[in-house]
Amino acid sequence: MWNEFLWVIVPYLVLASFIVGHIFRYRYDQFSVTAKSSEMLEKKQLMIGSLLFHVGIIFVIGGHFVGLVIPESWTAALGISEHMYHIFAVGIGSIFGVMTFVGMFLLTFRRLSNPSVRRISSTGDIIVNITLLLTVILGMASTVFGTQEIPGFDYRESISIWFRQLFLFRPDASLMIHVPVLFKLHILSAFIIFGLFPYTRLVHAWSVPLSYLRRRYIIYRKNPS
């Protein structure tokens, strides 16, 4: 029952919170979909941490998408062996994983250690920072130490299949029984993030100014007077 609860019921509760929360936020509080700037209070750590985190997390999410959504048979059909896939995933993933960790650590340290920044931070801001940092740490620990518990463990033969089954509404919780503990903790911490997503500053991710890519150039002219 505990296994069914964690890997069948909880994912759908998180998904429901994610969808309903976004609908509620858009209908009743859409003007708060932004991230309050604290650049005036401290700039150096914010600039470095934000750049590292945002660049790193884009590639980390992309790597998770490939590993979880694309079946192993598809990459094999393209001529990518399992050994080649894991070398590429671990090598490239580690680089961007470290970038994400350093960026998130700097942002979290800045928020907790700088009195001015901490003063304007809400409880939700602090929870989001700590949860994101914990999720990144658990993800890196899973990559480095996770397979020591079960030698030869391949998440594409268990976690990935279970993940895809969630969207087909027939998840098999038994696939998660023998998954290493670090992987499970990483997934559960990610559930917390997705569950909190609509109710925190994380929603500013949807306000990326993509329109800037296709807008006309703004020409600034010096006033001759």
Would you list which residues are annotated within the binding site? 54, 64, 186, 204
How many angstroms separate the Cα of 194 from the Cα of each of 97, 98, 131, 191, 214? 19, 22, 11, 5, 30
**Residue for token pair 């961007």:** 96
Q: Would you say 78 and 100 are in contact if contact means Cβ atoms under 8 Å apart? A: no
How far is Cα 205 from Cα 221, in angstroms, rounded to an integer? 33
Reference 193, options 137, 134, 146, 150; nearest CA is 134
Q: If you compute the radius of gyration of the chain from its CA atoms, what whole number of angstroms results?
A: 20
* CA neighbor of 140 nearest in space, from 192, 86, 193, 93: 93
Kind plus residue range of the DSSP H or E element containing 14: helix 10-29
Question: How far is it, in rounded angstroms, from Cα 128 to Cα 177?
Answer: 28
Q: Which residues are known binding-site members for heme b?
A: 54, 64, 186, 204
